[in-house]
A and B are shown apart, each in its own frame.
Chain A
Amino acid sequence: MYASKLYSWKFILPAFLLFFGLFLVPNLMGFYYSLTNWNAMSDQVKFIGLDNFREVFTDPSNFRFIYNTLMFALVTSLFKAVIGLALALMLNEGMKSKNVLRTIFFMPVVISNLIVGLIFQQIYNPDTGILNEFLHAIGLGALSQSWIGDPKLAIWSSMGVEIWKAAGFNMVIFLAGLQMVPKEMYEAADIDGANYWNKLMKVTIPFLIPSITINMMLNVISGLKVFDVIFALTNGGPGRASEVINLTIFNQFGLGTYGYGTALGVLLFVFLAVISVGLVKIFTRSEVNAG
């Protein structure tokens, strides 16, 4: 009684109302509108059952953007974490300039995705871009590609941009995790004559399981939601080769096919919910094993 008077629910209300009204309500409405033919052409909203979802899954040209989205999330998540871990292990030790280097590697995280996407458009330019120039300069000219002009490559090139942007974020989380490893563990391992690889596998990685969990969760979530990097870099092109769910939704919004776009939003919602619950299950199990 006393607690509920001192810590009044009224304090929760403003935040909850904002979040509920402008975030949760649209999501809940999405479940209804995804079952309708809601569009910009007519005021009549008619219930059509699962037709929108049927359309998503029966049109083979749609498999591309679903595949792209899942692939993007998977590949970028792994690379961000692995590169982030490598950077963290390197910059955790006694380098003179480690603080400056940490600042540099984290910098892309704070640069706007739009600017990053537009810069990389130039870097990837097949004739004038510095990526191909660099490959020619080191004698690997044979590897130079039409990075975003080739339908097969475009989505992979956009993954490269995403990894460039967020590996530093993973690094910072791992650096925080490395502070939690007790020094005595390394001393004990040294006495036992463990080499660097043993120490990494037997001491460092088990202690980093929570950091790995957080990183992978955040990477997968942001990977599935990707929009702006691809919008700025390829806009889904060439054709629809590098389209992802959020970009398709934006295009449907522009076309005025709201019901169908909303159904795709619901699909993304389901992907995120299922995949995050799955990840939590996998990681909590491995934590028990490690502990």
Chain B
Amino acid sequence: MSRRFNMINGIKEALMWVLSLIILVPVAMLILNSVKNVTESAVMSLKLPTEFHLENFMTVFKDGNIIRSFGNSLLISSFTSVITIMTSSMAAFVMTRNRTRLNRYVYILFLVGLIVPMNYITTMKVLQMLHLINTFTGIVLLYSAVFIPFTVFLFYGFVSGIPKELDESAVIDGCGGTSLFFRIIFPLMKPVSVTALIINFLNCWNDFVLPLYFLNSSSKWGMIMTMYNYFSQYISSWNLVSAAMLINLVPILFVYVLGQKYIISGMTAGAVKG
């Protein structure tokens, strides 16, 4: 019985590994092509390169504005994540603890933000009115506005699990609302904060729709947008384009592998409760 069971499991496992090739092959293709010469890379296949051209990466680094766009991505993603986490955790904390009818409606309004789309064209008008079009400030605040609904939702679920007795004893010890939140509650939220940080950071890093609409000057573009520009310029040199894409992929996959646990716990936060 158990031997047959092992056999079936072994077959299943082998099958899953074969299926995983559907994910792995495109990535492998990218890696192989990034070290070929131009002629060989024109055919994006899984053939091994005749010789390794690691200088492709040097070429991309030299004329791909990699360093500057990496800095831009880092700046935009970090500020967005911090603003989103601070504002969302404060809002979620009060909405969970003080369930007045008004707070209930405000929470529902936040949830509506998870469903409805952005109206890009009128958003442009609002940014123009605020003189925030084509600025770092504008794009950071805009990302924060887009990420706040999901992050509020994440924190809302978590704060419910922090016992209210904590608040009471903190008040007895002389805490006001502000010090209660910043000294007691916020430190307790660390697991969710890390989750929100990683998910928002990745989403921000990967996004190119908002820069496409609201950032016209290429000097402010992050890595993804710069890579897209590079792609349009060097469309015939797939080896360089592949190298540029790989340079983009490495930081993302690095964060993914390190923060996997947090990403998945955040993604499944709403699913488990039903």
Contacts and interface: CB of A to CB of B under 8 A. Distances in A.
Contacts of A210: 271, 273-274
B167 A106 contact: no
Contacts of B25: 130
B206 interface: yes
B90 A228 contact: no
A6 B177 contact: yes
Interface stretch (A89-97, A146-154, A183-191): A89-97
B248 A18 contact: no
A221 B274 CA distance: 18
Contacts of A110: 202, 206, 252-253, 255-256, 263
Given A7-B94, A15-B152, A95-B12, A273 B267 contact: no
Interface in B133-185: 141-142, 144-146, 148-149, 152, 167, 171, 176-177, 180-181
B110 A249 contact: no
B48 interface: no
A214 B126 contact: no
A112 B126 contact: no
Interface string A114-151: 11001110110100111001000000000000000000
A268 B115 contact: no
A173 B270 CA distance: 9
Interface in B1-28: 9, 12-13, 15-17, 20, 22-27
B188 interface: no
Residue from A97, A211, A246, A265 having most chain B Cβ neighbours under 10 A: A265
B54 interface: no
B123 A111 contact: no
A7 B98 CA distance: 6
Range class of the B interface residue count: 35 or more
B9 A94 contact: yes
A225 B118 CA distance: 9
Interface stretch (B39-47, B57-65, B189-197): B39-47
24 contacts: A9-B94, A11-B94, A15-B87, A18-B87, A90-B12, A95-B9, A95-B13, A104-B20, A110-B252, A111-B206, A113-B206, A114-B208, A114-B224, A128-B43, A130-B29, A225-B117, A232-B228, A246-B117, A250-B212, A253-B213, A265-B120, A272-B116, A272-B117, A273-B115
Interface of B: 9, 12-13, 15-17, 20, 22-27, 29-30, 42-46, 83, 86-88, 90-91, 93-95, 97-98, 100, 103, 106, 109-110, 113-127, 141-142, 144-146, 148-149, 152, 167, 171, 176-177, 180-181, 202, 205-209, 212-213, 224, 227-228, 231, 238, 241, 245, 248-249, 252-253, 255-257, 260, 263-264, 267-268, 270-274
Given A107-B23, A118-B241, A176-B271, 7 more contacts: A29-B122, A33-B121, A90-B15, A103-B257, A106-B260, A110-B202, A130-B45
